[in-house]
């Protein structure tokens, strides 16, 4: 006889992903090991974090417990250390913060402040009692109690950062989708500009093209590789590209564009030519321009945009830096950065810093995802960049790009999307700040052109 | 006390091979559940076959190959880890309870674990067989018990089969980006013997339902494939053509092999099916296989650079330089590309069960890192497969790897098509298709 879970392989994988790429070990199965609370606790106590899975018709319900199952019958447990979820055929999942109470007969789950009862398990009778409104929300039949087929308990291994795990898992997917909606519906504050253009500038291999690929992958729903990435001694990107991103495969274009440039190099005559930067910022540089490290574009170039309008300009510059390289950035590179920044300031363009390759990306945001944590923004890397470029800490942003096809993660998405939102906000600020005369002047010019 | 095993990855792997592809789920750990036999049995009875491990100066184990119950006698496999090897012997049948003393006088037993005192007692004969130091009482610090399941049980095979079906239907109904072309062309490029033709054969086999060998494969030093072949694949034996074409080229070689010039001509669609490669010089316009005005249809939309996963670290520096040069050229003309590592099933220690979650498998992760380091390709662009070479019949596990790789290639091709400048897709392709159609109509009214 072998003890095998009732979950199909596919369901198991979905569950693992839902819980943040964890692995599961089956500890207890009611049909094999007996269905009393005592049988259950005997096998499940002192096993670390667990999920209890209940099979009810086509539905699978689960309750996650961050702490051990107790050895004996025990009352109310700590707040915010457990949650309830449901895995329906192909539908999304409801999350609910809960706290647990165990008696001789039942496992009862309450709201995290203990005030409201959500659901109970009576293992002896194979019964599940569900709050009426909850049952409705999950599109269950309108009975109050249900007989379930089986109850299984798994140990959950591989939880990153236990401290805010519960709030992260329960809130992440919803927050991610909210951000997506937000970005889809975004409109630049100036009517003349249909899309915000974000320029990525930074050293070779800092992850500029990867950031574009990451953003596109989120909106596309699978990993994309439109911008070639990888590593080499010199920049892989040798062409100026203005990428527009579609919402889904056939969807409409999103209200922002990402402009990808060649990597900066500390040596002159290698990498992006300094003389090209003002042309890019003003919007004179055509898409697909082949960079020449030795000399900048001139107005004689066949595709040179002679009188760019406000919409062709760069509205936000992101200085892209590998967070691990900041503390040993060469002085030549710093000088180069300051030169670049001078040009950006001259044009009055908004500027942010984008730190990439943040391995501990799970830790960057607060539990409610609204802000970066103090402990993160007070890191030496952030302070150094802040001092070097004199950019406010709130505009020093962090991401971990998608480097592997196989690990989708809502928290990673949240960070990337939040960063994008900050860039758009920065762009809006600088557009609002534009003197009327300049908007007028540019307007006049573009009318003249037409 | 955290419930994680003290077993190293390597030890677990060795055990997995010893017990023929088993997966271990930790149930009991003495330091978390007390050094108490009754706790151990309460947790570990009725869990199917179990594995008991004892950690002292040596790791000693006992494998109960049948469902473990306190008082049903079963035969037991004892083993002990040496540095890299494992020595073993069968004992029993015993009641599992007796292994932990039970009610029997200690001296009668050849092997016995005193959990409370954290000592193992065994007779001299066993100590010799297991290559352990001669000492009748071996003390230990930790004891763990695992449930053993097949790494590839029916539940997983079923799951993999479902996944295969969904991949198959996704690939059958795939349409190239904006339907700019009818069929996506994927070029297979790589060193001699890397498995380019085998990959085509494998893809064809998956859609045919049994292993086929249309493209000749082998392992001659200069490469078996000397012709440029573009293979369209039918869905089933008489089905309609699938929406992609695999293009098989001659192997790359430090000196001989395919010319650089030919690669560029292929990418642009100048070379047609069945061109006989000449490694001394590239094709010239006017050749019977030269296409003067290739359409978007004729161009390559994604390149897969194929390597044997087992020898990719040993590529000569000339070959690395050549690959890097090709990569630069591809980047220059905006060519989408991925890397395909073949023969992963031949990697050391890998079991078939590992293939179902291959990208999480540690040695494969390290392999991808190595390829990234050596050749500079992005990690997300490296795919792995196991080709059909010696089999007669297809296998859902291998099918899933092959189909997933193919789907990634088609996604990459879509990125390429989306990235094309408007003038190259809209005006030119439409105009040229129309011209071609008119010409066709003219030739065969």
Residue A332 in any domain: the answer is yes
State yes or no: pLDDT of B13 exceeds 80. yes
| Rounded average pLDDT over A384-410 | 87
- Hunting for tokens 């194929």 — which residue is that? B306
Mean pLDDT of chain B: 89
In this structure, are A142 and A184 located in the same domain?
Answer: no
The pLDDT-based confidence of A445 (bands split at 50, 70, 90) is very low
Residue A97 in any domain: the answer is yes
For B43, the closest of A4, A43, A231 (CB atoms) is A43
Q: Which of A138, A159, A180 is the last residue of a domain?
A: A159
State yes or no: pLDDT of B435 exceeds 70. no
| B183 Cα to chain A: minimum distance (Å) | 18
| Interchain contact B320–A (C-beta under 8 A) | no
The pLDDT-based confidence of A142 (bands split at 50, 70, 90) is low
User: Are A225 and B415 a contacting pair at CB < 8 A?
Assistant: yes
User: Are B419 and A3 a contacting pair at CB < 8 A?
Assistant: no
State yes or no: pLDDT of A182 exceeds 60. yes
Are A30 and A40 spatial neighbours (Cβ–Cβ below 8 Å)? yes
Mutate to test the interface with B, among A13, A21, A27, A33 (most CBs of B within 10 A): A27
pLDDT number for residue A235: 85
User: Are B4 and A288 a contacting pair at CB < 8 A?
Assistant: no
Are B27 and A27 spatial neighbours (Cβ–Cβ below 8 Å)? yes
Residue A57 in any domain: the answer is yes
Q: Where along chain B do its domains lie? A: 9-150, 154-443
CA-to-CA separations, B380 to A220, A230, B12, in angstroms, rounded: 16, 9, 28
For A33, the closest of B46, B162, B338 (CB atoms) is B46
- Measured distance CA(B328)–CA(B322) in Å, rounded: 10
Residue range B116-173, pLDDT digits in tens: 999 998 888 999 999 998 887 899 999 999 999 999 999 999 999 999 999 999 999 9
pLDDT number for residue A444: 44
The pLDDT-based confidence of A449 (bands split at 50, 70, 90) is very low
| Interchain contact B165–A (C-beta under 8 A) | no
The ipTM assigned to this model is 0.88
* Burial class of residue A8 (count of CB atoms within 10 Å of its CB; 0-12, 13-18, 19+): middle
pLDDT number for residue B256: 77
DSSP B250: P
In this structure, are A249 and A316 located in the same domain?
Answer: yes
Give A209-275 as a DSSP string. Answer: HHHHHHHHHHHHSS---SS--B--SS-S--B-EEEEEESSSS-PEEEEEEEE-PPB-SSTTSBS-TT
Task: From chain B, pick out residues whose CB is under 8 angstroms from the CB of A42.
Answer: 42-43
* Assigned token pair, A381: 């890397």
Residue range A303-320, pLDDT digits in tens: 999 999 999 999 999 999
User: Are A2 and B27 a contacting pair at CB < 8 A?
Assistant: no
- Can you say whether the dihedral through the CA atoms of A25, A29, A35, A39 is positive or negative? negative
- Measured distance CA(B159)–CA(B148) in Å, rounded: 20
**Peptide bond just before A17 cis, omega within 30 deg:** no
| Interchain contact B374–A (C-beta under 8 A) | no
pLDDT number for residue A447: 43
* Assigned token pair, A59: 């539905």
Task: From chain A, pick out residues whose CB is under 8 angstroms from the CB of B26.
Answer: 25, 155
- Measured distance CA(B47)–CA(B212) in Å, rounded: 43
The DSSP element (H or E) to which A389 belongs, if any, is: helix A380-389
Helix intervals (H) in B92-153 = 96-99, 124-129
The pLDDT-based confidence of A130 (bands split at 50, 70, 90) is confident
User: Are A48 and B3 a contacting pair at CB < 8 A?
Assistant: yes
- Measured distance CA(B94)–CA(B108) in Å, rounded: 12
CATH number where A342 lies? 3.40.50.300
Mean pLDDT of chain A: 87
Q: Which of residues 183-242 of B touch A (CB under 8 A)?
A: none
Task: Compute the C-alpha angle A441/A444/A449, nearest 5°.
Answer: 130
CA-to-CA separations, A314 to A197, A258, A280, A296, A354, in angstroms, rounded: 5, 10, 7, 18, 16
- Hunting for tokens 């990435």 — which residue is that? A229
- Measured distance CA(B425)–CA(B416) in Å, rounded: 11
State yes or no: pLDDT of B184 exceeds 80. yes
For B376, the closest of A32, A230, A406 (CB atoms) is A230
Residue range A206-254, pLDDT digits in tens: 999 999 999 999 998 888 889 988 888 888 888 999 999 999 877 899 9
Are A33 and A9 spatial neighbours (Cβ–Cβ below 8 Å)? no
SS3 A86: strand
| B341 Cα to chain A: minimum distance (Å) | 15
- Measured distance CA(A317)–CA(A272) in Å, rounded: 15
- Can you say whether the dihedral through the CA atoms of A214, A217, A223, A225 is positive or negative? negative
User: Are B331 and A238 a contacting pair at CB < 8 A?
Assistant: yes
The pLDDT-based confidence of A403 (bands split at 50, 70, 90) is confident
Contacting residues for B401 by C-beta, under 8 A, at least 6 apart: B344, B355, B358, B384, B385, B386
Among chain A residues, the shortest Cα distance to B416 is held by A226
Q: How many CA atoms lie within 13 A of B221 on its CB side?
A: 3
In this structure, are A394 and A309 located in the same domain?
Answer: yes
| Rounded average pLDDT over B422-437 | 59
Q: Which of A128, A159, A190 is the last residue of a domain?
A: A159
Task: Compute the C-alpha angle A63/A66/A72, nearest 5°.
Answer: 80
For B48, the closest of A3, A47, A222 (CB atoms) is A3
* Assigned token pair, A315: 């509205």
Name the least confident of A285-294, A441-450, B121-130, B229-238.
A441-450
DSSP B344: G
SS3 A171: helix
Q: Which of residues 262-281 of B touch A (CB under 8 A)?
A: none
Among chain A residues, the shortest Cα distance to B153 is held by A4
For B331, the closest of A25, A42, A236 (CB atoms) is A236
Higher local confidence (pLDDT), A159 or B203: B203
| Interchain contact B71–A (C-beta under 8 A) | no
Among chain A residues, the shortest Cα distance to B356 is held by A9
User: Are B155 and A27 a contacting pair at CB < 8 A?
Assistant: no
pLDDT number for residue B434: 56
Residue A96 in any domain: the answer is yes
| Interchain contact B336–A (C-beta under 8 A) | yes
* Assigned token pair, A229: 């990435």
pLDDT number for residue A85: 84
Mutate to test the interface with B, among A43, A45, A219 (most CBs of B within 10 A): A43
In this structure, are A345 and A243 located in the same domain?
Answer: yes
| Rounded average pLDDT over B78-93 | 89
Q: Which of A141, A159, A177 is the last residue of a domain?
A: A159
For A42, the closest of B43, B155, B416 (CB atoms) is B43
The pLDDT-based confidence of A440 (bands split at 50, 70, 90) is low
Contacting residues for B154 by C-beta, under 8 A, at least 6 apart: none
Residue A1 in any domain: the answer is no
- Measured distance CA(A229)–CA(A207) in Å, rounded: 8
In this structure, are A422 and A319 located in the same domain?
Answer: yes
Ranked by mean pLDDT, which of A56-60, B247-251, B253-257 comes out on top? Answer: B247-251
pLDDT number for residue B445: 41
Domain extent at residue A266: 164-449
Alpha-carbon torsion angle A319, A325, A331, A333, nearest 10: -40
Name the least confident of A337-341, B100-104, B362-366.
B100-104
| A218 Cα to chain B: minimum distance (Å) | 14
Residue A417 in any domain: the answer is yes
Number of domains in chain A: 2
| Rounded average pLDDT over A82-91 | 76
Residue A271: count other Cβ atoms within 10 Å of its Cβ: 21
pLDDT number for residue B382: 95
| Interchain contact B159–A (C-beta under 8 A) | yes
Among chain A residues, the shortest Cα distance to B40 is held by A43
Crossing angle of helices B37-44 and A37-44, rounded to 10°: 110
Q: Which of residues 5-64 of B touch A (CB under 8 A)?
A: 25-27, 32-33, 42-43, 46-49
CATH classification (class only), B154-443: alpha beta
Contacting residues for B386 by C-beta, under 8 A, at least 6 apart: B342, B343, B344, B345, B355, B398, B401, B402
pLDDT number for residue A448: 41
Task: From chain B, pick out residues whose CB is under 8 angstroms from the CB of A51.
Answer: none
User: Are B1 and A46 a contacting pair at CB < 8 A?
Assistant: yes
In this structure, are A400 and A301 located in the same domain?
Answer: yes
Task: From chain A, pick out residues whose CB is under 8 angstroms from the CB of B32.
Answer: 46-47
State yes or no: pLDDT of B219 exceeds 60. no
Residue range A188-209, pLDDT digits in tens: 988 889 999 999 999 999 999 9
> By percentage, how much of chain B surpasses pLDDT 90?
66
Are A434 and A414 spatial neighbours (Cβ–Cβ below 8 Å)? no
Residue A72 in any domain: the answer is no
DSSP A70: P
């Amino acid at each position: 006889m072998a003890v095998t879970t009732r979950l199909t392989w596919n369901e198991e994988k979905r569950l693992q992903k839902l819980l943040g790429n964890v692995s599961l070990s089956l500890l207890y199965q009611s049909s094999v090991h007996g269905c009393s609370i005592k049988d259950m606790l005997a096998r499940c106590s002192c096993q670390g974090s667990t999920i209890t899975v209940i099979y009810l018709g086509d539905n699978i319900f689960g309750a996650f417990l961050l702490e051990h199952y107790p050895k004996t019958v025990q009352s109310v447990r700590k707040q915010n250390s457990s949650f309830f979820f449901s895995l329906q055929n192909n539908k999304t999942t409801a999350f609910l913060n809960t706290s647990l109470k165990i008696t001789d007969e039942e496992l009862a789950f309450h709201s995290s402040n203990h005030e409201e009862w959500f659901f109970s398990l009576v293992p002896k009778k194979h019964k599940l009692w569900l709050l009426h409104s909850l049952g409705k929300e999950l599109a269950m039949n309108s009975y109050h109690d249900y007989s379930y087929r089986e109850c299984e308990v798994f140990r959950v291994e591989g939880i990153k950062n236990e401290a805010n795990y519960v709030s992260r898992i329960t809130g992440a997917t919803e927050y991610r989708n909210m951000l997506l909606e937000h970005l889809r519906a975004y409109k630049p504050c100036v009517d003349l500009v249909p899309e915000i253009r974000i320029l990525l500038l930074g050293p070779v291999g800092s992850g500029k093209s990867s950031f574009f690929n990451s953003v596109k992958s989120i909106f596309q729903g699978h990993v994309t590789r439109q911008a070639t990435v990888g590593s080499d001694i010199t920049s892989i990107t040798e062409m100026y590209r203005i990428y527009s991103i579609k919402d889904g495969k056939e969807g409409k274009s999103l209200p922002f564009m990402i402009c990808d440039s060649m990597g900066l190099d500390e040596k002159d005559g290698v990498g992006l030519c300094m003389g090209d930067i003002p042309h890019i910022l003003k919007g004179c540089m055509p898409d697909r321009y082949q960079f020449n490290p030795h000399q900048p574009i001139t107005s004689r170039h066949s595709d040179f945009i002679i009188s760019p309008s406000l919409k062709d300009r760069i509205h936000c510059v992101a200085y892209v830096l590998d967070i691990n390289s900041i503390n040993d950035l060469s002085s030549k590179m710093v000088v180069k950065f300051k030169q670049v920044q001078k040009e950006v300031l001259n044009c009055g363009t908004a500027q942010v810093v984008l730190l990439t390759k943040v391995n501990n990306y799970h830790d960057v945001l607060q539990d409610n995802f609204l802000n970066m944590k103090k402990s993160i923004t007070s890191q030496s890397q952030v302070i150094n960049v802040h001092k070097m470029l004199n950019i406010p800490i709130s505009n020093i942003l962090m991401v971990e790009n998608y480097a592997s096809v196989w690990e989708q993660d809502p928290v990673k998405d949240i960070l990337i999307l939040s960063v994008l939102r900050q860039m758009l906000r920065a762009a809006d600020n600088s557009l609002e700040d534009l003197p009327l005369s300049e908007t007028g002047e540019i307007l006049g010019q573009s009318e003249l052109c037409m | 006390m955290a419930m994680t095993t003290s077993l190293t990855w390597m030890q677990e792997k060795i055990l997995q091979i010893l017990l023929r592809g088993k997966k271990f789920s930790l149930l009991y750990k003495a330091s978390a559940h007390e050094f108490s036999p009754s706790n151990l049995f309460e947790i570990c009875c009725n869990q199917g076959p179990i594995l008991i491990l004892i950690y002292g100066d040596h790791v000693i184990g006992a494998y109960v190959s049948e469902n473990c119950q306190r008082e049903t006698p079963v035969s037991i496999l004892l083993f002990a880890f040496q540095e890299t090897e494992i020595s073993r012997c069968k004992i029993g049948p015993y009641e599992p309870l007796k292994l932990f003393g039970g009610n029997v006088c200690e001296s009668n037993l050849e092997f016995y674990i005193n959990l409370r005192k954290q000592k193992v007692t065994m007779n001299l004969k066993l100590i010799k067989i297991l290559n352990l130091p001669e000492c009748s009482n071996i003390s230990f610090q930790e004891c763990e018990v695992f449930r053993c399941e097949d790494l590839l049980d029916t539940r997983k095979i079923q799951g993999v089969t479902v996944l295969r079906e969904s991949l198959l239907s996704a690939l059958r109904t795939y349409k190239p980006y904006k339907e700019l072309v009818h069929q996506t062309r994927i070029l297979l490029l790589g060193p001699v013997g890397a498995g380019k033709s085998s990959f085509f054969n494998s893809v064809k086999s998956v859609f045919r339902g049994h292993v086929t060998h249309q493209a000749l494969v082998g392992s001659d030093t200069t490469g078996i494939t000397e012709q440029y072949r573009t293979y369209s694949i039918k869905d089933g034996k008489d089905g309609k053509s699938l929406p992609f074409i695999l293009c098989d080229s001659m192997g790359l070689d430090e000196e001989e092999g395919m010319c650089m010039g030919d690669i560029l001509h292929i990418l642009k669609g100048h070379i047609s099916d069945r061109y006989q490669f000449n490694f001394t010089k590239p094709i010239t316009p006017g050749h019977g296989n030269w296409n003067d005005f290739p359409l978007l249809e004729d161009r390559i939309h994604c390149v897969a650079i194929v390597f044997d996963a087992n020898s990719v670290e040993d590529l000569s520096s000339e070959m690395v330089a050549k690959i890097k040069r090709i990569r630069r050229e591809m980047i220059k003309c905006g060519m989408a590309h991925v890397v395909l590592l073949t023969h992963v099933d031949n990697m050391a220690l890998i079991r078939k069960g590992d293939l179902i979650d291959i990208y999480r498998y540690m040695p494969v992760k390290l392999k991808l890192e190595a390829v990234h380091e050596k050749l500079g390709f992005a990690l997300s662009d490296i795919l792995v497969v196991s080709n059909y070479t010696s089999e007669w019949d297809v296998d859902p596990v291998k099918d899933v790897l092959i189909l997933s790789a193919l789907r990634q290639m088609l996604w990459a091709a879509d990125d390429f098509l989306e990235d094309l400048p408007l003038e190259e897709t809209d005006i030119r392709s439409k105009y040229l298709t129309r011209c071609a159609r008119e010409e066709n109509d003219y030739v065969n009214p």
